[in-house]
Amino acid sequence: MPYETVIGLETHVQLSTHSKAFCGDDASFGGAPNTQVSPVSLGFPGTLPRLNEKQVEYAVKLGLALGSKINLVNSFDRKNYFYADLPKGYQITQDRQPICVGGQLKIHVKGREKSVRIHHIHMEEDAGKSMHDTDGPYSLIDLNRAGVPLLEIVTEPDLRSAEEVDAFMTAMRQLVRYLHISDGNMEQGSLRCDVNVSIRPEGSTEFGERCEIKNLNSMRYARRAIAYEVKRQTQLVESGGQVRQETLNFNPETGITSPLRDKEDAHDYRYFPEPDLPPVVLSTEELRKLQTEMPTLPWQMRERFSGEFGLPEYDVNLLTEEQAPALFYLELSRHTPHYKAAANLLINKVLPYADEQNIPLETFPVGVKQLAEFLQIIADGKVSNSAAYQQLFPALMEQPDAPPLTLAESLNLLQTSDEGALEQIVEQVLTDNPDEVARYQKGKKNLIGFFMGQVMKASRGKADPKVTNALLRRKLEA
């Protein structure tokens, strides 16, 4: 029997705040183990948490982007469990009143758009990092990450394949980067997800029992874990068994999932209201202020680039994948009407240069006005496209402030479309090659290419090809 895969995601986004969620410890990634800790993040008795306002601001921005309802009053809870990387013995999270409810994220798979519903977004703190395989029989604990602010985004079970999961995570990564709330780096664990997987007979409207695969921090692992889990559940059901709700771990070395712990009963966590933090209360003014700070979002950017600028999908994808190139293009578009040529210039020259030099685009040496003038010179036919790209652009990179037209002149790149000068060159070429002229006139018409080449050579590439061609035919056929 054919089965349908059903997937819901619990995505964790590590926020790029300077300090941790409930104390002033440095929240950045990569410090020497246990150097970014204080009595608060070490969970010493008697210490008190204090809320980082940035975490709230970032949560609201994500909620606004996803069209969620923002709970102007929301509150924290304790989720109790014992583990060595959780010094307090509980995680501060939001259980009863999360900051955002509802919303959706649109994904694109195989040319089809699909809307994935968001159940809610809540704020919480990260645990420390355990390393089990670096020091013989011992486990090592690094508490730098303990208390780093997270947002958890919980979806409805709307996803139907690993490709859709991939598309969701990619869209989420792009969104948090556009919002500047996280670097979205999966390798460093800034973006990771728990994947809830179930199967059901195709056509069925009821959901099957699900398993939750914990903490997948790469799309490749997620894809393999989902494939394995779908196969395992299908075989289990086909052989008359029943899927049991459990929490699984995926082992990338063996490629299989195995039970982590039973999750029959969420009450194990003994959730209760966090007594040391007052509820978060947001005013409508604060909400409005954050609304005005919202940037153009990835999908709005895409729409402008294909609608307003008429760019093909390939260009739209390349220019809007990250925010910086999109903003650079918008700035350039204010100075030039040549939208497609501007896209080509960015894609072929500007972005690769910034990439190679590893510099932020904002520091690209040539300003947008100069770039616009560069494009205008080509559009006016003053310099050929190839001469502009191969000679003028490198020169401009070396003298970013020189007027492009003056540079073209000094490099002797201005196209000769002046028929008088060109006619002289053409005549010279014809006089120098009497045999070819005779053969052309006897019918070997493709010799036109040879003459074009000779004229180009004599004019050192400056002859306007169209005018040259017309002139040659006129003379040869006279």
Positions that interact with ligand ADP (CB under 6 A):
6-10, 154-157, 196-198, 207-208, 210, 266
Q: Which is nearer to ligand ADP, 107 or 326 (CB)?
A: 107
Among the listed residues 59, 55, 70, 45, the one whose alpha carbon sits nearest the alpha carbon of residue 18: 55
DSSP string computed for 128-155: -EEEEEEETTEEEEE-TTTT-EEEEEEE
Q: Which is nearer to ligand ADP, 269 or 450 (CB)?
A: 269
Paired sense of beta strands 77-80 and 112-125, if any: unpaired
- Token pair 């519903």 is found at 117
- Give least dist CB 228 to ligand ADP, A: 16
Q: Which is nearer to ligand ADP, 231 or 444 (CB)?
A: 231
- Give least dist CB 194 to ligand ADP, A: 8
- Give least dist CB 56 to ligand ADP, A: 22
Among the listed residues 52, 24, 13, the one whose alpha carbon sits nearest the alpha carbon of residue 180: 13
- Give least dist CB 130 to ligand ADP, A: 22
- Give least dist CB 235 to ligand ADP, A: 18
SS3 string, 334-345, reads CCCCCHHHHHHH
Q: What SS3 state is found at 230?
A: helix
Tell me how crowded residue 208 is: count the other CB atoms within 10 A of its CB: 19
CA 243 to chain centre: 36
Residue 194 dihedral angles phi and psi, to the nearest 5°: -95, 130
- Give least dist CB 336 to ligand ADP, A: 46
Residue 273 dihedral angles phi and psi, to the nearest 5°: -60, 135
Contacts of 231 (CB under 8 A, 6+ apart): none
- Give least dist CB 249 to ligand ADP, A: 17
Tokens of 100: 């955002």
Q: Which residue is nearest to ligand ADP (CB)?
A: 8
- Give least dist CB 367 to ligand ADP, A: 47
Residue 374 dihedral angles phi and psi, to the nearest 5°: -55, -45
Among the listed residues 168, 128, 132, 160, the one whose alpha carbon sits nearest the alpha carbon of residue 146: 128
The C-alpha atoms of residue 323 and residue 87 are separated, in whole angstroms, by 38
Q: What SS3 state is found at 120?
A: strand
- Give least dist CB 24 to ligand ADP, A: 32
Tokens of 271: 């959730």
Paired sense of beta strands 100-101 and 272-273, if any: unpaired
In the 8-state DSSP scheme, what is residue 268? G
Q: Which is nearer to ligand ADP, 210 or 462 (CB)?
A: 210
Long-range CB pairs of 465-470 (<8 Å, 24+ gap) are 465/384, 467/417, 467/419, 467/422, 468/422, 468/426
- Give least dist CB 268 to ligand ADP, A: 11
Q: Which is nearer to ligand ADP, 122 or 304 (CB)?
A: 122
Q: Which is nearer to ligand ADP, 68 or 155 (CB)?
A: 155
Q: Which is nearer to ligand ADP, 74 or 391 (CB)?
A: 74
Q: Which is nearer to ligand ADP, 193 or 413 (CB)?
A: 193
Q: Which is nearer to ligand ADP, 208 or 461 (CB)?
A: 208
Q: Which is nearer to ligand ADP, 34 or 215 (CB)?
A: 215
